[in-house]
Amino acid sequence: MFSVRDAQARDIPLISPWTRDTFSWGDYVADSLTRWLEDPHLKVLVVVDTDDVAKGVSVVQLLSPREGWLSAARVHPDARRLGLGTLLNAASVEWVREQGGEVARLAVEDSNPAATNQVVKLGYRPGSAWVYAEPPEDSTRMPDESDKPTVAGRSDVDPAWMYWSTSEIADAGRMLLPSVWKWRRATVADLDLAARERRLVASAAGWLVFEPRESDSIEVVWVAAGQNDFPRLVNAALRYSADNGIKDVYFKIPETGWTGEALRREGFEVTTITVYSKPIVK
C-alpha cells in the first residue's frame, strides 16, 4: 500500500501544507525542502501511497564516514498510525548501511513522549542527554568581572582536549558534539578548527567553543570544566558576549545534572533533549 522513494521537487507542494504547524511554534520542514533537495550531502525520502502521493518525509545524512543522522520525520495527519514512520526509518537506516555507516542517531525532545516511544520501538536506545538553554528575554544581569575570558590559540587545543576527553561532561555526552540540531563524535580537529576560527575561548574556569547564530547571538556547543568551575564558565561566556557586543548566549551541552541546574540558576530556559542511537548490522 505504501512505499519509499527519493523525494522530488514535485512533492514539495504536497508536503508543505502539513509540515508548517507541527509544533506550537510552527515547523521548519516546509521552508527547508527546496534547500534540502539541492544539497548533495542529504538524502530526502518520502513514503507514498498507491497514487504516488507523498504521505511522509524524512532526511538522512552521514555526519562522518561511520555516523548517520536521521531528522525531520513527518507524516501526514491522516496517515498516522499506519506504519509510515517505520517505513521511512527502515529506509533511512538502510541508506546509512549502504554508505558504510555503523550507527544511526536521532534526537528527541524529552517533552515529546509520543516520539520517544516510537523511536524506542524502532530499536533505538538513549545514548546521551543534552541541555538546550535559551537566555531570559528580560535579563539585566551583568556578568562578573573576574576570570576575564580570552580567545584561545591553537596552543590551547591539546590541553583543552585532554581535559575534556576525561571529564564528566564528555562522558555524559558520549563524546558527541552538536552542530545546529545534529550530533556526531567530536574530534581534536574540531577543536583545532574552532581555535583557527577564534571560536575557542579560555578562562580560569575552563574552555568553551561557540558557534555563531543569527541576530548577533552565539551558541556554546562544547565546554570543558568541572562541576565547581562550570558556573564560572557560564559567567565567562556571558562576559565574552558583553565584551564583544553579542546580544544573546545559548547553550547546547551535555546534561550532567549540575550543568542544567547552573543554567537554570542564571535564568536560562532549559529544555532537555535525548540523543538516541542504533547500531547498524552489516
Q: For 69-116, how does the pLDDT look when each residue is reduced to its tens digit (9 = 90+)?
A: 999 999 999 999 999 999 999 999 999 999 999 999 999 999 999 899
198 grid coordinates? 577564534
Task: Please tell me which residue, 210 or 23, carries the higher pLDDT value.
Answer: 210
Nearest to 256 by CA among 211, 232, 225: 225
Residue 144 pLDDT > 80:
no
- The owner of cell 575557542 is 200
Nearest to 19 by CA among 78, 72, 86, 85: 72
Average pLDDT over residues 46-59: 97
β-pairing, 269-279 with 150-151?
A: unpaired
β-pairing, 248-254 with 217-224?
A: parallel
Contact call for residues 253 and 171 (beta carbons, < 8 A)? no
Residues 6+ apart with CB under 8 A from 173: 128, 130, 253, 254
pTM of the model: 0.93
Q: For 189-233, how does the pLDDT look when each residue is reduced to its tens digit (9 = 90+)?
A: 999 999 999 999 999 999 999 999 988 899 999 999 999 999 999
Band (147; pLDDT cuts 50, 70, 90): confident
- The owner of cell 571560536 is 199
Position 281 scores a pLDDT of 82
